[in-house]
Structure 1
Protein backbone atom coordinates (compact mmCIF):
# COMPACT_ATOMS: atom_id res chain seq x y z
CA UNK A 1 0.00 0.00 0.00
CA UNK A 2 2.83 2.41 0.84
CA UNK A 3 4.45 1.66 -2.52
CA UNK A 4 1.21 2.52 -4.35
CA UNK A 5 0.98 5.82 -2.45
CA UNK A 6 4.56 6.70 -3.35
CA UNK A 7 4.01 5.91 -7.05
CA UNK A 8 0.71 7.79 -7.21
CA UNK A 9 2.28 10.75 -5.41
CA UNK A 10 5.09 10.92 -7.98
CA UNK A 11 2.54 10.72 -10.82
CA UNK A 12 0.52 13.56 -9.29
CA UNK A 13 3.64 15.72 -8.96
CA UNK A 14 4.69 14.95 -12.54
CA UNK A 15 1.26 15.85 -13.94
CA UNK A 16 1.20 19.00 -11.83
CA UNK A 17 4.59 19.98 -13.27
CA UNK A 18 3.52 19.28 -16.86
CA UNK A 19 0.16 21.03 -16.60
CA UNK A 20 1.08 23.97 -14.36
CA UNK A 21 -1.64 26.67 -14.46
CA UNK A 22 -0.88 30.21 -15.50
CA UNK A 23 -1.07 32.95 -12.93
CA UNK A 24 -3.15 36.09 -13.26
CA UNK A 25 -1.43 39.23 -14.49
CA UNK A 26 -1.79 42.22 -12.19
CA UNK A 27 -0.41 45.72 -12.17
CA UNK A 28 2.69 46.14 -10.03
CA UNK A 29 0.71 47.90 -7.29
CA UNK A 30 -2.03 45.26 -7.25
CA UNK A 31 0.53 42.45 -7.10
CA UNK A 32 2.33 44.17 -4.25
CA UNK A 33 -0.99 44.45 -2.35
CA UNK A 34 -1.67 40.75 -2.98
CA UNK A 35 1.83 39.86 -1.74
CA UNK A 36 1.29 41.87 1.45
CA UNK A 37 -1.99 40.03 2.04
CA UNK A 38 -0.26 36.70 1.42
CA UNK A 39 2.33 37.48 4.12
CA UNK A 40 -0.41 36.68 6.67
CA UNK A 41 -0.92 33.16 5.25
CA UNK A 42 0.93 29.89 5.81
CA UNK A 43 0.03 26.60 4.14
CA UNK A 44 0.85 23.41 6.04
CA UNK A 45 1.03 20.61 3.49
CA UNK A 46 2.51 17.36 2.26
CA UNK A 47 4.29 17.59 -1.09
CA UNK A 48 2.45 14.77 -2.90
CA UNK A 49 -0.97 15.08 -1.23
CA UNK A 50 -3.54 15.56 -4.04
CA UNK A 51 -5.58 18.02 -1.96
CA UNK A 52 -2.43 20.04 -1.20
CA UNK A 53 -1.58 20.06 -4.92
CA UNK A 54 -5.09 21.40 -5.59
CA UNK A 55 -4.50 24.29 -3.18
CA UNK A 56 -1.01 25.04 -4.52
CA UNK A 57 -2.43 25.12 -8.08
CA UNK A 58 -4.99 27.70 -6.98
CA UNK A 59 -2.22 29.75 -5.36
CA UNK A 60 -0.41 29.64 -8.72
CA UNK A 61 -3.58 30.68 -10.59
CA UNK A 62 -4.01 33.63 -8.23
CA UNK A 63 -0.27 34.53 -8.44
CA UNK A 64 0.00 34.43 -4.66
CA UNK A 65 3.18 33.55 -2.81
CA UNK A 66 2.06 31.85 0.41
CA UNK A 67 4.62 30.46 2.87
CA UNK A 68 4.69 26.64 2.67
CA UNK A 69 5.51 24.33 5.57
CA UNK A 70 6.01 20.59 5.10
CA UNK A 71 4.16 18.94 7.98
CA UNK A 72 5.40 15.51 6.94
CA UNK A 73 9.16 15.98 7.16
CA UNK A 74 9.49 19.10 9.34
CA UNK A 75 8.86 18.24 13.00
CA UNK A 76 8.61 21.91 14.01
CA UNK A 77 5.91 22.55 11.38
CA UNK A 78 4.10 19.39 12.44
CA UNK A 79 4.10 20.54 16.08
CA UNK A 80 2.90 24.04 15.08
CA UNK A 81 0.03 22.43 13.15
CA UNK A 82 -0.90 20.20 16.09
CA UNK A 83 -0.72 22.92 18.74
CA UNK A 84 -2.32 25.68 16.65
CA UNK A 85 -4.90 23.81 14.60
CA UNK A 86 -5.52 20.95 16.98
CA UNK A 87 -4.74 18.11 14.57
CA UNK A 88 -2.22 17.04 11.98
CA UNK A 89 -4.32 17.17 8.83
CA UNK A 90 -3.33 18.74 5.54
CA UNK A 91 -3.84 20.97 3.72
CA UNK A 92 -4.24 23.56 6.43
CA UNK A 93 -4.11 27.30 5.84
CA UNK A 94 -3.12 29.43 8.83
CA UNK A 95 -4.56 32.92 8.49
CA UNK A 96 -3.10 35.54 10.81
CA UNK A 97 -5.05 38.80 11.02
CA UNK A 98 -4.45 41.43 13.70
CA UNK A 99 -2.78 38.86 15.96
CA UNK A 100 -5.63 36.33 15.65
CA UNK A 101 -4.98 32.97 14.02
CA UNK A 102 -7.58 31.01 12.05
CA UNK A 103 -6.84 27.47 10.89
CA UNK A 104 -8.69 26.36 7.74
CA UNK A 105 -8.48 22.64 6.92
CA UNK A 106 -10.58 21.71 3.89
CA UNK A 107 -9.03 22.18 0.44
CA UNK A 108 -12.37 23.28 -1.01
CA UNK A 109 -12.69 25.98 1.68
CA UNK A 110 -9.08 27.09 1.20
CA UNK A 111 -9.53 27.39 -2.58
CA UNK A 112 -12.76 29.39 -2.08
CA UNK A 113 -10.96 31.68 0.39
CA UNK A 114 -8.07 32.28 -2.03
CA UNK A 115 -10.51 33.03 -4.87
CA UNK A 116 -12.46 35.46 -2.68
CA UNK A 117 -9.40 37.27 -1.35
CA UNK A 118 -7.20 37.41 -4.44
CA UNK A 119 -9.42 37.17 -7.56
Structure 2
Protein backbone atom coordinates (compact mmCIF):
# COMPACT_ATOMS: atom_id res chain seq x y z
CA UNK A 1 0.00 0.00 0.00
CA UNK A 2 2.86 2.33 0.79
CA UNK A 3 4.33 1.72 -2.65
CA UNK A 4 0.99 2.50 -4.33
CA UNK A 5 0.69 5.78 -2.40
CA UNK A 6 4.26 6.71 -3.27
CA UNK A 7 3.66 5.95 -6.95
CA UNK A 8 0.39 7.89 -7.04
CA UNK A 9 2.10 10.82 -5.32
CA UNK A 10 4.80 10.90 -7.98
CA UNK A 11 2.19 10.77 -10.75
CA UNK A 12 0.29 13.66 -9.14
CA UNK A 13 3.49 15.73 -8.89
CA UNK A 14 4.46 14.94 -12.49
CA UNK A 15 1.05 15.94 -13.84
CA UNK A 16 1.10 19.08 -11.71
CA UNK A 17 4.50 19.97 -13.17
CA UNK A 18 3.45 19.28 -16.77
CA UNK A 19 0.15 21.14 -16.55
CA UNK A 20 1.17 24.02 -14.28
CA UNK A 21 -1.28 26.91 -14.75
CA UNK A 22 -0.09 30.33 -15.83
CA UNK A 23 -0.16 33.16 -13.33
CA UNK A 24 -2.30 36.19 -13.81
CA UNK A 25 -0.23 39.20 -14.92
CA UNK A 26 -0.62 42.37 -12.89
CA UNK A 27 1.02 45.76 -12.93
CA UNK A 28 3.91 45.81 -10.41
CA UNK A 29 2.00 48.17 -8.09
CA UNK A 30 -1.04 45.89 -8.02
CA UNK A 31 1.11 42.81 -7.48
CA UNK A 32 2.78 44.55 -4.54
CA UNK A 33 -0.67 45.21 -3.01
CA UNK A 34 -1.54 41.52 -3.39
CA UNK A 35 1.82 40.56 -1.87
CA UNK A 36 1.06 42.77 1.13
CA UNK A 37 -2.27 40.97 1.61
CA UNK A 38 -0.58 37.55 1.51
CA UNK A 39 2.47 38.31 3.66
CA UNK A 40 0.80 36.96 6.81
CA UNK A 41 -0.55 33.78 5.20
CA UNK A 42 1.10 30.37 5.13
CA UNK A 43 -0.11 27.09 3.71
CA UNK A 44 0.61 23.91 5.64
CA UNK A 45 0.67 21.07 3.14
CA UNK A 46 1.99 17.71 2.00
CA UNK A 47 3.78 17.97 -1.33
CA UNK A 48 1.90 15.14 -3.11
CA UNK A 49 -1.52 15.58 -1.47
CA UNK A 50 -4.06 16.11 -4.30
CA UNK A 51 -6.04 18.65 -2.26
CA UNK A 52 -2.85 20.58 -1.50
CA UNK A 53 -1.96 20.52 -5.20
CA UNK A 54 -5.43 21.94 -5.92
CA UNK A 55 -4.80 24.87 -3.54
CA UNK A 56 -1.28 25.49 -4.85
CA UNK A 57 -2.58 25.53 -8.44
CA UNK A 58 -5.20 28.11 -7.46
CA UNK A 59 -2.50 30.19 -5.77
CA UNK A 60 -0.39 29.99 -8.94
CA UNK A 61 -3.33 30.93 -11.20
CA UNK A 62 -4.09 33.96 -9.03
CA UNK A 63 -0.44 35.02 -8.73
CA UNK A 64 -0.39 34.70 -4.94
CA UNK A 65 2.94 34.53 -3.13
CA UNK A 66 2.09 32.49 -0.04
CA UNK A 67 4.67 30.61 1.97
CA UNK A 68 4.19 26.85 1.83
CA UNK A 69 5.20 24.74 4.81
CA UNK A 70 5.74 21.01 4.47
CA UNK A 71 3.95 19.44 7.44
CA UNK A 72 4.94 15.94 6.40
CA UNK A 73 8.73 16.18 6.37
CA UNK A 74 9.33 19.18 8.63
CA UNK A 75 8.77 18.16 12.25
CA UNK A 76 8.55 21.78 13.45
CA UNK A 77 5.78 22.67 10.98
CA UNK A 78 3.92 19.45 11.78
CA UNK A 79 4.10 20.19 15.51
CA UNK A 80 2.95 23.79 14.98
CA UNK A 81 0.00 22.56 12.92
CA UNK A 82 -0.96 20.09 15.64
CA UNK A 83 -0.51 22.43 18.61
CA UNK A 84 -1.90 25.65 17.17
CA UNK A 85 -4.24 24.36 14.47
CA UNK A 86 -5.56 21.53 16.59
CA UNK A 87 -4.94 18.64 14.17
CA UNK A 88 -2.56 17.43 11.51
CA UNK A 89 -4.80 17.82 8.49
CA UNK A 90 -3.78 19.41 5.22
CA UNK A 91 -4.19 21.65 3.40
CA UNK A 92 -4.45 24.23 6.13
CA UNK A 93 -4.10 27.97 5.67
CA UNK A 94 -2.72 29.92 8.63
CA UNK A 95 -4.13 33.45 8.60
CA UNK A 96 -2.52 36.03 10.89
CA UNK A 97 -4.55 39.20 11.38
CA UNK A 98 -2.87 41.33 14.04
CA UNK A 99 -2.91 39.21 17.20
CA UNK A 100 -5.57 36.83 15.85
CA UNK A 101 -4.55 33.59 14.17
CA UNK A 102 -7.11 31.59 12.21
CA UNK A 103 -6.55 28.09 10.85
CA UNK A 104 -8.61 27.37 7.74
CA UNK A 105 -8.95 23.75 6.64
CA UNK A 106 -10.53 22.26 3.50
CA UNK A 107 -9.22 23.05 0.03
CA UNK A 108 -12.46 24.57 -1.30
CA UNK A 109 -12.77 26.88 1.72
CA UNK A 110 -9.15 27.98 1.35
CA UNK A 111 -9.58 28.69 -2.38
CA UNK A 112 -12.80 30.63 -1.75
CA UNK A 113 -11.11 32.68 0.96
CA UNK A 114 -8.13 33.48 -1.25
CA UNK A 115 -10.23 34.45 -4.26
CA UNK A 116 -12.59 36.59 -2.17
CA UNK A 117 -10.19 38.23 0.26
CA UNK A 118 -6.86 38.37 -1.51
CA UNK A 119 -6.92 37.97 -5.28
TM-score (normalised: structure 2)? 0.97
Please state if 1:66 is matched with 2:66. Answer: yes
Q: How many residues align?
A: 119
Equivalent-residue separation in structure 2 for 1:11 and 1:117 (angstroms)? 32
Deviations along 1:59-89, one digit per CA (max 9) or x if unpaired, are 0001011011100010100111011110000
Equivalent-residue separation in structure 2 for 1:23 and 1:108 (angstroms)? 19
Displaced runs of 4+ in structure 1, greater than 6 A?
none
Please state if 1:49 is matched with 2:49. Answer: yes
- The aligned counterpart of 2:91 is 91
Note the residue ranges of structure 2 that are not aligned, 5 or more in a row: none
Note the residue ranges of structure 1 that are not aligned, 5 or more in a row: none
TM-score (normalised: structure 1)? 0.97
Give the root-mean-square deviation of aligned CA atoms: 0.7
- The aligned counterpart of 1:76 is 76
Deviations along 1:3-48, one digit per CA (max 9) or x if unpaired, are 1110000000000000000111111111001111111100000000
Q: Residues 38 and 118 of structure 2 are in contact (CA less than 8 Å); yes or no, is this contact kept in structure 1? A: no
